[in-house]
Structure 1
Amino acid sequence: MLVRSRAVTAWINAMLVCSLLLFIPQTNAKAAKTLHTYTVANTAVIKPSYDVIVAGTDPEGIMAAVSAARNQLKVLLVENRPRNVMGGLMTLGWLNSLDLNKSPKVSKEFPSPYLNKGLFQEWYYLIGGTSFDVRRAANAFAKMVKDEKNIDVLMNARSMNPLMEGNKVAGMQIVDGSGKAYTVRAGAVIDATQDGDVMAAAGAPFTMDREDIGDPASKIAVTLVFKLSGVNDKAWKTLRQHKGAGSDAMSIWGYGDAKEYVSSDQTRVKIRSLNIGRQEDGTLLINTMQIYGIDPLDPASLSEGMKIGQKEAPLIVNYLKKKYKEFATLSYAGTAPELYVRESRHMKGEYRLTMADLMNNRDFWDAIAYGSYEVDIQSFTHAYSGAVVMKPKQYGVPFRTLVPQQVDGLLVVGRAASFDTLPHGSARVMPLGMATGQAAGAAVKLAKEYKMSFRDLTKSKSGIAELRKRLTKQGMDLRMVKFAAPEYSKHKYYPGLLATASLAAAVGGYSNDAWDLDGPSNPKRFYNTAAAFHRMFPEAFPNKMTMNADDFSKDVPLSLKQAANIIALSAGIETEPEAAIEVMTNRSIVSKDFIKGIKNPAKLTNGEAFMIVRGAIKSIAGVEYK
């Protein structure tokens, strides 16, 4: 393991910053507008073969390409979206406020405030701040690619499709912007597209959106970031002083009552609290808009989303200017070139990251990255505001989540990797995706040396140990921080909580205390939980629960008799209400000892209700979350 002193690390960081200063024009209040974005020129001659092709120039793809190049591999980095700059969602979707993977504890042993480090931290030092100037970020990405002589670049391709030999990806079929076709062979392909386009085209299995929790029709809201101009130091200071808003030198978050905005079409677009990132040219980027009913895989639907956002953005700005005196001097200055899409395909890999993994803060023998960001489930309908399901301390991301089932020669990084939809709410953040990109680039080199397929590598303890060793030498920190087990996991009814949270039916919030395990449950909450049984396990729970959830009150306690009867109804078990408890024990949904341990059968706690949920899923559907 490569160990550096804090002094050496500081010196390296300073050198990184200095190297960027040589490449990117410096800015100050007077010269800010002189900072321009460096476009990326295509390589003049595209070779017939490479060691690896990386598809996609979002941050995850850039890190994969740079990692592979630094591992002495010949790389083709190809992009089939109409882009002339590097960085994708960050630099063209204007998602300039970072969702950081913070370490659960900073200590002498673990001095970094962020997990993973590596290429992400190298890039982060180049741009600085929790919010960054998108032009400076694009230039930093361009510099990292430009500095690697082993990377060839092909931007603005008309199409890119996997070259298949049986079930193996053997390269890519590419048509460039001029219409010239290439057949480019490669020892491996890394899919870093936002939607897992190469993975899907290669025939790898996947789920869509919220399909794995029985809700395939719902789609998480997309966002169109918009810009305000007229920001000087005085205006920025005024914005930061708003009551209830949090801020640092480059970011502001809050203005929670902005969500009172009434849009031009409440069913298609609304706003939430504001995430504000300062730019160096006297502008702000604001992430607040939520646009509903957009299919990320349908170009016509994406175009509709852009039109909805472009129409709404100036209306939102007018509202902010009238509602908050802090915005009065600012002016609307346009929208981002691309939509911010949060979710689409979820690959089925050799391992699938689960909610239980995050709640248990689970490490893995083949972890190649670590996450800690909250499980942030965004709104998917105008009637639902979204939720933070829980906040993990730290969890590992197995190498197996990058390896698709049924397809060889391919790795998938970023948000399309093998994550269930709930943990995806944490694992989709780009610092973690950039870490998976770095790991993928190094894995291609190791698999080539070992003459081993990626699938074989997922089964090799010695191979993974060598991969982790190399990644550590290349700047990553692949250690679990030492921390105490969270309080919720010590509760005797934690197994029930684990099952209920995995159904998307329990929310812990940022502090993991909204579970309220010892607090009172109610019939409405339990009925809504039982309604999820049919969505996820329709054969085991055939009853769609046609009774209206509003018929159940949240203001009265849930009794054991009510809970047993709701379980029986959902499972299609014919029984009299008075006999439902006996049916539960006879079917081993709950034990007699559990019933004896209930404090008050007329007033079940949330923890007791969660245990009944767990028993029903395990006994009737045959599924156990652990």
Structure 2
Amino acid sequence: MDNMNQKKTVQQKRTDILIRLALILIVVMILFFFVVKPMLKKDYYFEAGDDYKFDNLGADSHKDSFDVAVAGEGIDAVSSALGAAGVGAKTLLIWQAPDFGSAFKGALDVNWAADYTPTGNSVSSDLFKELRYKSGDGSNLENYISEIEKLVSEEKKLTVLFDAEISTVSLSGGKLTGLEVKTPSETRNIVAGRYIDASRLGEILIKCGTAYNRGYEDIGIKGLYPPVQLNFTVSGVDYPKIQELLRKQSFLISYYIKEYNTGNRNIRISGLNAADQGDGKVVIQAVNVDNLDLSDEQKVKAAYDKAKKECRNFYIYLKANLEEFKNSSQMTVAEEFVMPSPYHFKGRYTMTLSDVLTGKRYTDRISTASKPVTFTMDDGNKYVLCNPKTFYIPLGSLIPEGLDNVLMTGDKISASSLVQPAIGSNSSKAGNGYAAGIIAAYSISRDMEIPRLIEDRNLDTQQDIEKILRKMGIYMSDIKEDVESITGNWSYPFAEKLINLGLLSGGITNDYKYEKEAREKDLAYIILNGVPRVDETAYNYTFDAAVRKYIKDEPLSREKFGRILLELTGKTGTGSKNYYEEACKSGLIDDTLQKNLKNASVLKLSDVYYGSVKLLEKLTGKAVK
């Protein structure tokens, strides 16, 4: 009897353990499905923390007087206006198009994806996530336009002036004091405490005389701009079948694209992507145009006409070769290119590519992005310069040089032209635009001119701004990324200079291969492309021919390195056949590099990075910054 009771007690204990384990499992599953999984879901949307309302705003009741006036035609303009109005600022949005729909559908830009880190974390603002969430997390333009119209209509402090053009600006003492704005029915003289230029071309900034660079001229490449894209719609198709085709038949698609000939060296088919618009309609992204001067309106128009014909030809080609397009009924080409700003306006701080690569944590950071940085050469070849995990945009890059009450947004902010592809997404534009609107209102409320916000003595103010932006839904990470593999090498300060000139590519893994044995071509390509970027007057055909003969896939030995240095600098030496020794005696190889190469027969890439910067400076007579 006692044994049976003891046995029963053991069974009860086991039952208790199983019940507890079952309860724990249930709790874990509930937490996963209702807490963790939604947060891991793509573009998970949640309401921002606090609803801030600043003081000292909206007091002037005159119809042409505003706290903040925003001019533009894209998502950054809408976001800026919503940011300012949302914290209580009386806000005017000067919109160039007759309505929101025509502006957003003009280019058929369907790039509404969030910015994600390589590890899959979204860094988009809550405003952008909300817009995506309510629009169905897809690329349907009609849905986005509808949600934008709702967001704007719900903001009582926001007035929109459609079909409006800024004809003149008034300036006084480094401040913008007014805008003359014309619509088809009236002319209004707008006065605001703060102004935000969210236009693609920087129309306010140009009228104010703000300095700028065109295309890639800031890194010494004149006349080169990022490629543009011309999209078109196709109706009468089955989107799921097209999606399946693109997913399962990628080799077939690649074959047909390779076989297709545009007949124009500046027009190429970059791939085939389709964005569902509902009701059997898709937007096709395929036709790209290279080597186009984006600052020349006439050249853009001529290129558009050629690209439009190419879109029609490519559609006919798709219809003839792919079953999924054979029953399509109609195609319509976008009214304009999807294109970046041709300008980079000078601000109080200029973002560099190395800032992006290393995720520099500015004290005045106001938004976050994460996107591979690509560079397309004039021959159409595209390179991934780097793939940052997370990088920040500083307020200093949004403050135009010489203007105390103006902010700028979008991809025209003060940044290296190499950075533009990484900050040109709709996600990034929405983030820095929203932050700009909030900060414009903040500066009025605190009675501080915008440039004062970024002064070193105002670190408390910068921390206050970041705190507000976080609670308003701007993503900011407290985790400092480990970039030791990039910056830890002894040659990084010199590699950094080459990176900022676009001369080094770390690829998708950000690997600069410091310890890899160098080839002759590694040095030759850096010097060949680097000299004209540092000083175009130092480049000529004789120099070009002298460098090109070393574009060889052979180890870069100490002797060959010495010979290249002597030849390119015109040093005759003493007649010795020991080129390395001659280069050292001639002062072409300094003590640092001599020490590194003391026991080496072949240079490493780290040696090349250091040596090439020194050589570029000798050949051009200018410091490589």
TM-score bracket for the superposition, by shorter chain length: 0.7 to 0.9
Distance 1:454 1:323, change over 3 A: same
Give, in whole Å, the separation in 2 of the partners of 1:552 and 1:316. Answer: 41
Q: Tell whether the 8 Å contact from 2:176 to 2:405 is kept in structure 1 after alignment.
A: yes
Q: Tell whether the 8 Å contact from 1:403 to 1:455 is kept in structure 2 after alignment.
A: yes
Q: Tell whether the 8 Å contact from 2:563 to 2:583 is kept in structure 1 after alignment.
A: no
Distance 1:562 1:430, change over 3 A: farther
Q: How far did 1:492 drift?
A: 4.2
Q: How far did 1:104 drift?
A: 5.2
- The question of 1:212 aligning with 2:226 is answered no
- The question of 1:558 aligning with 2:556 is answered yes
Distance 1:557 1:68, change over 3 A: same
- The question of 1:154 aligning with 2:150 is answered no
Structure 1 counterpart of 2:161, one-letter code: L
Aligned partner of 2:340 in structure 1 is 342
One of 458, 475, 487 as aligned partner of 2:454: 458
SS at match of 1:47: coil
Distance 1:287 1:585, change over 3 A: farther
SS at match of 1:128: coil
| More displaced stretch, 95-104 vs 209-218 | 95-104
Unaligned stretches of 5+ residues in structure 2: 1-33, 48-60
Give, in whole Å, the separation in 1 of the partners of 2:46 and 2:593. Answer: 62
Q: Tell whether the 8 Å contact from 2:351 to 2:415 is kept in structure 1 after alignment.
A: yes
Aligned partner of 1:114 in structure 2 is 122
Give, in whole Å, the separation in 2 of the partners of 1:9 and 1:235. Answer: 28
Structure 2 counterpart of 1:121, one-letter code: K
Unaligned stretches of 5+ residues in structure 1: 17-44, 107-112, 246-253
| More displaced stretch, 161-170 vs 208-217 | 161-170
| More displaced stretch, 495-504 vs 435-444 | 495-504
Give, in whole Å, the separation in 1 of the partners of 2:256 and 2:62. Answer: 50
CA deviation vs aligned residue, 1:254-290 (integer Å, no higher than 9, x gap) = 9444542544432231111223212112122122211
Aligned partner of 1:145 in structure 2 is 152
- The question of 1:506 aligning with 2:504 is answered yes
Q: How far did 1:236 drift?
A: 3.3
Give, in whole Å, the separation in 2 of the partners of 1:417 and 1:572. Answer: 42
- 1:190-589 matched pairs, under 5 angstroms: 190-232=196-238, 234-244=240-250, 255-257=253-255, 259-330=257-328, 333-377=331-375, 379-381=376-378, 383-459=379-455, 460-485=458-483, 487-513=485-511, 515-538=512-535, 541=538, 545-547=543-545, 550-567=548-565, 581=580
Q: Tell whether the 8 Å contact from 1:521 to 1:557 is kept in structure 2 after alignment.
A: yes
Q: Tell whether the 8 Å contact from 2:535 to 2:622 is kept in structure 1 after alignment.
A: no
Aligned partner of 2:65 in structure 1 is 49
Q: Tell whether the 8 Å contact from 1:495 to 1:614 is kept in structure 2 after alignment.
A: no
Give, in whole Å, the separation in 2 of the partners of 1:400 and 1:535. Answer: 29
Q: How far did 1:600 drift?
A: 7.9
| More displaced stretch, 54-63 vs 158-167 | 158-167
Give, in whole Å, the separation in 2 of the partners of 1:525 and 1:332. Answer: 50
Distance 1:274 1:573, change over 3 A: farther
Distance 1:126 1:555, change over 3 A: same
Give, in whole Å, the separation in 2 of the partners of 1:342 and 1:570. Answer: 38
Give, in whole Å, the separation in 1 of the partners of 2:570 and 2:164. Answer: 54
Q: Tell whether the 8 Å contact from 2:227 to 2:289 is kept in structure 1 after alignment.
A: yes
Structure 2 counterpart of 1:398, one-letter code: P
Give, in whole Å, the separation in 2 of the partners of 1:576 and 1:102. Answer: 58
| More displaced stretch, 65-74 vs 582-591 | 582-591
Distance 1:166 1:263, change over 3 A: farther
Distance 1:55 1:243, change over 3 A: same
Q: Tell whether the 8 Å contact from 1:116 to 1:370 is kept in structure 2 after alignment.
A: yes
Give, in whole Å, the separation in 2 of the partners of 1:223 and 1:13. Answer: 29
Aligned partner of 1:19 in structure 2 is none
Aligned partner of 1:66 in structure 2 is 82
Structure with bigger helix share is: 2
Q: Tell whether the 8 Å contact from 2:266 to 2:291 is kept in structure 1 after alignment.
A: yes
SS at match of 2:545: coil
Q: How far did 1:304 drift?
A: 1.5
Give, in whole Å, the separation in 2 of the partners of 1:134 and 1:491. Answer: 47
CA deviation vs aligned residue, 1:437-475 (integer Å, no higher than 9, x gap) = 111111111111222111111212122222112112212
Distance 1:144 1:370, change over 3 A: same
Q: How far did 1:86 drift?
A: 5.0
Aligned partner of 1:188 in structure 2 is 194
Q: Tell whether the 8 Å contact from 1:401 to 1:418 is kept in structure 2 after alignment.
A: yes
Give, in whole Å, the separation in 2 of the partners of 1:567 and 1:428. Answer: 40
Aligned partner of 1:95 in structure 2 is 109
Q: How far did 1:389 drift?
A: 0.8
- The question of 1:163 aligning with 2:163 is answered no
Aligned partner of 2:604 in structure 1 is 605
- 1:118-129 matched pairs, under 5 angstroms: 118-129=126-137
TM-score (norm 2): 0.82
Give, in whole Å, the separation in 2 of the partners of 1:315 and 1:576. Answer: 65
| More displaced stretch, 317-326 vs 500-509 | 317-326
Q: Tell whether the 8 Å contact from 2:114 to 2:124 is kept in structure 1 after alignment.
A: no
SS at match of 1:610: helix
Give, in whole Å, the separation in 2 of the partners of 1:295 and 1:388. Answer: 22
Q: Tell whether the 8 Å contact from 2:175 to 2:403 is kept in structure 1 after alignment.
A: yes
Distance 1:501 1:570, change over 3 A: farther
Give, in whole Å, the separation in 2 of the partners of 1:117 and 1:138. Answer: 18
Distance 1:326 1:7, change over 3 A: closer
| More displaced stretch, 262-271 vs 390-399 | 262-271
CA deviation vs aligned residue, 1:301-341 (integer Å, no higher than 9, x gap) = 22222211211102112333445445444455111122111
Structure 2 counterpart of 1:452, one-letter code: M
Give, in whole Å, the separation in 2 of the partners of 1:312 and 1:396. Answer: 38
Q: How far did 1:99 drift?
A: 5.0
| More displaced stretch, 592-601 vs 453-462 | 592-601
- Count of residues paired in the alignment: 571
Q: Tell whether the 8 Å contact from 2:527 to 2:547 is kept in structure 1 after alignment.
A: no
Give, in whole Å, the separation in 1 of the partners of 2:519 and 2:269. Answer: 31
Distance 1:567 1:414, change over 3 A: farther
Q: How far did 1:624 drift?
A: 5.8
Distance 1:332 1:465, change over 3 A: same
